[in-house]
Amino acid sequence: MTILGGSLTLSFAPFNYWFIVFISLPCAFIILTSIKDKIFTSAWFFGLGYFSVGLSWVHVSIADFGGVPLIGSIGLMFLLCGYLALYPALLFYLLNRFFNVLLWPLAIAFIWLVMEWLRARMFTGFPWLSIGYSQTSSPLATYYPLIGEIGLSALIVLACMSLAVGIKLKKRMLAATPIIVMFVCAFSLSGFEWTKPNGVTKTTALVQGNIPQSLRWDPEQDEITKEKYIALTEPFWNHDIIVWPEAAVPSLEVMTLEYIKALDEKATETNTGIITGVVNYNARTEIIYNSLLALGIDEQKNSFPYHLNHEKRFSKHHLLPIGEFVPFENLLRPLAPIFDLPMSSFSRGDYIQPNLLVKDTALVPAICFEIAFPKQISANIYSHSDAIVTVSNDAWFGNSHGPHQHLQIAQVRASEFGLPVIRATNNGVTALIDHKGNIQAQAPQFVETVLSSEMKLVTGITPYYRFGDAPIYVFAFTLFVSALLLRRKNNLI
C-alpha cells in the first residue's frame, strides 16, 4: 500500500505521468475493498507513502536550513506525513463502517470532498498534492474552468472506485463506464473557451535574483542583494509590469525607505509599474507583515508617490506554519533552530484586499503557498481584475520536485479562473502562464535572470469562478444520499 501511495507522485510535476493515477488508485482501492478489520491502518499506510514521497522536498528545508539533526528531520517529516495520512485513513474507515462495498462508488466522492475540505483548513490548512493537480497535462484539464481542481479530484476518485469495485465484482460495465464518460466529456469540453484574449497585451519582466537561502537574511548581504536586483532590472525599464519575488528587498521596509522611494521614482520616470516583495514592520505595534508593494505609475490615480504604509500594498493572509508563524511558540522556539527561523513571527493580512494596480492593470496577489487556496484567490478577483500575480522563494527546497509542484498549482489557478498568472520567484520556477493554464514562458532554475514576455489580457469569466465548488458538492452529496437510501432499502451494510 505504501508503494502504491508513493507511486502517485509520478503523476504530478515535474514527472507528469498523469495516467499513473488511474493505475495506482484502482489497485489500492481493490486491496482496500478486501480488507475489513485493518482498513484504517492499510489506508493510513497508503496515505503515508503518498505524502512521504510527494512531500519529500519538505525534508530539504528542515535538514538544510532548520538546524535539525537527520534523525530529527526524519521524525518531523514522519509527523507531518503521518498526520496528512489520517485523512485517507478516516475516509476508508467511514466507507467501510457505514457502506457495503457495492455502494462505495456512490459514497466516496462526498466523503473525499469533506476530507479535503478539512485538510485545507485544519491547523491553517495544507491542501498540497490534492489529486486533481496531477491532470494539468491530461485531457481532463478541461474540467478545471468548469468545476475546479477539487471537482476534478472528486470525479477521479469516483471513477477509480467504480473501476476497482467493478473489477472486484466482475461487473465490466460498472468498472468502465464512469472513466469512459469522464474522458468523453473532457474531450467535448475542449472546444469551449470560457475567457478569450481581448487584444490587449502587457510587456512583463520577471526578475529572478537567485539569492542563496543561506544569505537571504544576512545583513552583510543586504546592499549586494539590492544592487543585484537594480542591475538585473535596468535593461527592462519601460516594460508595463516588472515583478520582483517574495521579500526581494532584503531589509525591513522601515529601514530601506530611500531605496524603495528611488525605485518608485525610477518606475514613474520610465512609465513602468513594478511590484516587489518586502517585509513591513511597525516598531510601535510590533506587527510584521509579509507584503507586496506596487510602485511607479498607476494610471487610475496618475503618479502616486511612495511613502511608508502607502495603500498600494498587499499583506499575506495565509501564513505558513513554522516558516512564518510558530504555534505554541513559547514552547517550541527553544527546542530547535527550525522553530526560530528569521521572519517567523508574521501577522496575518486581511482575507480580502484590493488588487494591486500597476499602470492600468489590476493584479490579484498571492504570496507563496497562498496560490494553493482557490477560495482565497476567488474572493479577491473583481470585475476589473486582469491577472493573478504570485511571488515565492522556493530556495528553501533546493533541487527537488517541490518548486515544480508549486508551478503546477499556479497553472491550475490560471485555468480555473481563466486569467493569466505571473509567477516570480527567487530561484525558480519563474514563469508566465496564459489564461488556459499553459506555460507561455519559463526561466531556467538556479540562475540570476529576467524573464521578459508579453501577457495577453482576457475577457469573460469561467463557470468555476461564477459558481465555485457548489455544483460538485451538490453532485457528490446527491450520490451520497443515494448511497444512504440504497443502503437502507436493500440493507447493504
- Which residues are catalytically annotated? 246, 316, 368
Q: How is residue 304 written as a grid cell? A: 502616486
User: How far is Cα 386 from Cα 274, in angstroms, rounded to an integer?
Assistant: 16
Is residue 277 within 8 Å of residue 320, measured between CB atoms?
no
Q: How many residues in total does the chain contain? A: 493
CB atoms within 10 A of CB 276: 26
Strand partners for 292: 277, 314
Q: Which distant-in-sequence residues (6+ apart) come within 8 Å of 277 by Cβ?
A: 244, 245, 246, 247, 248, 249, 290, 291, 292, 293, 367, 391
CB 285 within 8 A of CB 303: no
- Parallel/antiparallel/unpaired status of strands 356-358 and 387-392: unpaired
216 residue type, one letter: R
Structural contact between residues 267 and 243, judged by C-beta atoms closer than 8 angstroms: no
